[in-house]
Amino acid sequence: MREEIHELKKAVSDLESYVNIYNKEKINEIVQRIIDISSSINNKVNDNNEIENDNFEEISYLTTVPFLYKPVTKKDYYEGDYLETFSMQRTDELKRANTLDLHNKFWNSNCVENGNIFGSVPEELLSKDSVDSLLSSGWLSVDVNIYEVNDNIDYFDLENLCENNFTNFLIVTERKEDKYLILEYKI
C-alpha cells in the first residue's frame, strides 16, 4: 500500500502541473489514474480491515511532536554507499548547527529498532539558531505522531503493522521505560 500512496501523491502533483497549463487530455488521464489508485487502496483497506483493526488495538496514540528531518534523496538508499555518505553529511550538518550532542543524547535514550528515517531530532530540543542552520542545510520540519505499543504484541507483528500502515516511521525502544514506541513521520 505504501507504493500506491506514493503513486497517488505523484499523480496529484502531476495533476497540479497539467492544471496550470490546462492540458485537458492529460488532466483527464491523470484523474482516471487517481481514481484507479484510490480504488485499489480502498479495496486493500477493506480487505485487510479486520486484521489491521486488531493490530491497532495493540497501539495507542500519545502525542504529535514537531521534528526536524533530513530527507533521503535516493529511492534505493541501500544501494552502494549512499547511507554511509548520508550519515557523514548528517553528522557534519548537526555539528555545524551545534546539535550533535543533543541529537546523540536523544537517540541514545531511544534505540532505533526498525524504520525508514535516517536523520531526525525533536525540534523542541534545539535553539532557534540550530533549527535555522539545519533548515538551511535541507532538513525539513515535520510532525511526528507518537504511539505507545502495548506489551502483548509480538515484535514481528509490530513490524508488519508499521510496514503496512505507515509510510515513514521508526520503531524505537524507549530505554527509560523499556517500551516500544512508533514514530510516524507525516511527510
Domain boundary (25, 56, 87) is at 56
Domain boundary (29, 56, 83) is at 56
C-alpha–C-alpha distance, residues 181 and 171, integer Å: 6
pLDDT at 125: 94
pTM: 0.69
Together in a domain, 29 and 108: no
Grid coordinates of 111: 534505540
| Residue 121 · residue 67 · CB < 8 Å | yes
DSSP per residue, 125-137 = GS-HHHHHHHHHT
pLDDT (tens, 9 = 90+) of the chain, 187 residues, equals 557 777 888 888 888 877 778 788 888 998 998 998 888 877 766 654 433 444 567 789 999 999 999 999 888 888 888 889 999 999 999 999 999 999 999 999 999 999 988 999 999 999 999 999 999 999 999 999 999 998 888 888 899 899 988 999 999 998 888 899 999 999 9
The parent domain of residue 46 ranges over: 2-56
- φ, ψ of residue 110 to 5 degrees: the values are -135, 95
Together in a domain, 70 and 148: yes
pLDDT at 56: 66
How many domains is the chain partitioned into structurally? Answer: 2
Together in a domain, 68 and 8: no
Together in a domain, 6 and 35: yes
**Angle, helix 82-96 to helix 128-136, in steps of 10 degrees:** 140
C-alpha–C-alpha distance, residues 93 and 136, integer Å: 10
